[in-house]
Amino acid sequence: MSEFGELLRSLRKQHKITQRQLAALVGIDFTYISKIESGTMDPPAEDKIIRIAEVLQVEPEQLILKAKKVPATFHKLITENSDVPLFLRKASKLSPSQWEEIKEILQREEEGDAE
Amino acid sequence: MSEFGELLRSLRKQHKITQRQLAALVGIDFTYISKIESGTMDPPAEDKIIRIAEVLQVEPEQLILKAKKVPATFHKLITENSDVPLFLRKASKLSPSQWEEIKEILQREEEGDAE
DNA sequence: ATCCATGTTGACGAATAATTCAACGTCGGT
DNA sequence: ACCGACGTTGAATTATTCGTCAACATGGAT
């Protein structure tokens, strides 16, 4: 039941490359890839996951989450913006309908004063 | 600028206990407390922070966040509930008014079907 | 001056996570 | 049968986090 490993293997195969090729592109040892795919070993550190995601052309974040890790971007957000923890504290108790409302709000593109 | 260390020291002093006493109560070495307070050393692991919070009677989560760590409860939430990452992805771009609306929704106690 | 309670510092060690190395098993082509 | 490309496995290594131990510095109370 190695979520991450299975996904990795499937993505790699979609790209028709071998473990050795992927490993070379990513800059890690190919035996490590093998163990990760088989679930023998935990997913690698975030920076490696990101490089894998780039090579395999998927959203790094998606892969990081599959690895059951919290992306560094989230980490920063959580520890720096106090509203976020406020939200997370309640998030587990939100009803589907409340989630809907929140998604509505997220949809609305407001003045992008980001960056 | 050791946020966590300063907070810890101030909390400890409020309780009028020494580093050694706190360390004993928490179950770690007192020299470690010293280094943490002075910022020489990073904050301890989450379980230690929790015990510290209990001894000093503050919300563990508050202390964990000050330590710039993501509480395990959040970690689980993020990696298990796919709506949460969806939210976090957009969270940094939310305007104050959008935050207000979200807080409104959080306020509303709906059927607590949690646990 | 002495004592001792408190805090500080530097070197060291344990535990765990992350990763590599060397060697081997397998299979499809030739 | 043999070869080369591929994947697997176990032991060994490195990196990082997390903490302890021994020794020292300081300041007040007696």
Residues 27-46 of A with CB under 7 A from strand C: 27-29, 31-32, 35, 41-42, 44-45
Domain borders along chain B are 3-114
Q: Which of A59, A29, A21, A114 is nearest to B94 (CA)?
A: A114
- Residue from A105, A108, A113 to probe the interface with B (highest B Cβ count within 10 Å): A105
- Residue from B84, B101, B104, B111 to probe the interface with A (highest A Cβ count within 10 Å): B84
Q: What is the pLDDT of residue B108?
A: 85
Q: Has residue A115 got a pLDDT over 50?
A: no
The residues, ordered by sequence, that sit 6+ positions from A56 with a Cβ below 8 Å of its Cβ are A11, A12, A14, A15, A22
Report CA(A69)–C1'(D15) in Å, whole number.
19
The structure tokens listed for B52 are: 């510290």
What is the DSSP secondary structure assignment for residue A27, as one 8-state letter?
T
Q: Evaluate the CA torsion angle A20, A21, A27, A32 in order and state its sign.
A: negative
According to CATH, the topology of domain A3-114 is 434 Repressor (Amino-terminal Domain) (1.10.260)
Q: In this predicted model, what pLDDT tens digit does every residue of B12-29 receive, in sequence order?
A: 999 999 999 999 999 999
Backbone torsion region of residue A28, taken as left when φ is above 0, otherwise alpha when ψ lies between -120 and 50, otherwise beta:
beta
**Gap between the terminal Cα atoms of chain A:** 40
Q: Has residue A2 got a pLDDT over 70?
A: no
B75/A70 CB distance under 8 A: yes
Q: In this predicted model, what pLDDT tens digit does every residue of A8-30 receive, in sequence order?
A: 999 999 999 999 999 999 999 99
Decide: pTM greater than 0.85: yes
